[in-house]
Amino acid sequence: MNRYIATKPEIYIGRESNRQLYLHQKIRCVDLEQEWNLSNEKSIGLLGYACDAGVKRNQGRKGAAKGPNAIRKVLGKMPNHLAENVVFSDFGTIKGPADEMENAQALLASKTSHLLQMNVFPILLGGSHDIAYGHYNGLKTPMGSDKTIGIINFDAHFDLRSNESGNNSGTPFYQIAQDCQTEGKPFHYLALGIRQDANDKLLFETASTLGVDYVENRNFDLSHFTTVENALDKFIERVDHIYVTIDLDGFSSAYSPGVSAPSPMGFSPDIVLKCLEKIITSKKLQSLDLAEMNPKYDIDNQTAKLAASLIHFVIHSI
> For residue 201, which phi and psi values (nearest 5 degrees)?
-60, -40
The closest alpha carbon to 132, from 98, 155, 164, 115, belongs to 155
Q: Please indicate if the annotation marks 312 as binding a ligand.
A: no
Q: Please indicate if the annotation marks 129 as binding a ligand.
A: yes
Kindly report the length of the chain: 318
d(CA 49, CA 65): 7
Q: Are 192 and 275 in contact (CB under 8 A)?
A: yes
* Parallel/antiparallel/unpaired status of strands 4-5 and 87-95: antiparallel
- H or E element at residue 42: none
Q: Please indicate if the annotation marks 157 as binding a ligand.
A: yes
Q: Are 168 and 57 in contact (CB under 8 A)?
A: yes
- H or E element at residue 178: helix 172-183
Cα 49–chain centre separation:
10
d(CA 108, CA 110): 5
Q: Are 72 and 7 in contact (CB under 8 A)?
A: yes
At a CB cut-off of 8 Å and minimum separation 6, what does 21 contact?
A: 15, 79, 80
Q: Please indicate if the annotation marks 197 as binding a ligand.
A: no
d(CA 53, CA 113): 23
Residues annotated in a binding site for Mn(2+): 129, 155, 157, 159, 247, 249
Residues annotated in a binding site: 129, 155, 157, 159, 247, 249
